[in-house]
Amino acid sequence: MPALLSCHRNPIAVVRILGSSTPLGAQLTEEQKRSFADNGAILFPGFISRDTVTEIWRAVEDVQRQWIAEGREKVNGIPIKYGLDVDGRRIVQRFAFANHFSPVLAEFLKDPRFSELLELVGPGARLGINEKDGLVVNHYVNVDGSQFTQMGWHTDSVRDIFLGKRILPMLNVGIHLDDQDPQNGGLRLLPGTHRQSTWNMLFRKKPFMDNRPDPREVAFDIHAGDLTVHDGRCWHRVERSRLTGEASRRRVMYIPIIAGKYTPKSEKSPTPLYHHFQHLVK
């Protein structure tokens, strides 16, 4: 079915759900392209199997063990966010450039279906495997000691402003590793805001500090293995789970699709200014 906005059965918890598209195949369909153009976001169901989800998470845990053992604080200038799991163990809650530390994750990004998404940006588009923050892994869990339970309203394009660059087309591609009932928190987005003015892109909300629901927002009914794509100019947030402990766990990987001048990061790269506000994301 096409990705259409629909009412949720529990309108108190969630106003609207952005319906699922058809699966991502060898090429984008016209309906998929129209849906993305209208909303600035799309959900492709069943991008990977649950067995592949398990394999990927094992690779992420390998990276986590390495970083904790090393006492690593940054990757290519990007701070690592640590926190506590449900059993009190120290975990990584935000990874950057995880693909640089795992051959499994690096190989996964070679899936040819990612290349089909480049069309949504246009000429010169590429996966940002060495740029921005590379393959980011976000691990949300709602327990005492967690440093990552939600993320306030923001646009991804604001990074270009912080870096003194003009805003270029950019998409964030999310690979979801857990089922996410939208009634229990998760990704929220204001559809159509990828067409907003630069002023509204910067000042419609207080970036990262404003966590309040918006009556125009949509949620996503996500299953482990689904893939989402959203335009970096869209306002979006991650709502804190209403649950605690294991039931609150949400793990998602993001890889950007970008255009413009190739700007790879290295261990000599400075920490971008916007990461100095990371303490606002808890």
For the segment 22-61, what is each residue's pLDDT rounded down to a tens digit?
Answer: 999 999 999 999 999 999 999 999 999 999 999 999 999 9
Instruction: Look at residue 71 and tell me whether its pLDDT is greater than 50.
Output: yes
Half-sphere exposure of 190 (CA within 13 A, CB side): 23
- What pairs with residue 255 in β-bridges? 173
227/177 Cα distance (integer angstroms): 9
For residue 47, the model assigns a pLDDT of: 98
Two structure tokens written together for 5 = 């906005």
DSSP per position, 232-246: TTS-EEEEPPSS-GG
For residue 44, the model assigns a pLDDT of: 98
Confidence label for 2 from pLDDT (cuts 50, 70 and 90) = very low
Confidence label for 12 from pLDDT (cuts 50, 70 and 90) = very low
230-246 average pLDDT score: 93
Q: Could you tell me which of 275, 233, 228, 258 has the C-alpha nearest to residue 76?
A: 275
Q: Which domains does the chain have, with CATH numbers?
A: 16-260 (2.60.120.620)
Instruction: Look at residue 199 and tell me whether its pLDDT is greater than 80.
Output: no
For residue 1, the model assigns a pLDDT of: 39
- 164-173, 187-196, 213-222, 246-255: least confident range: 164-173
245-256 average pLDDT score: 96
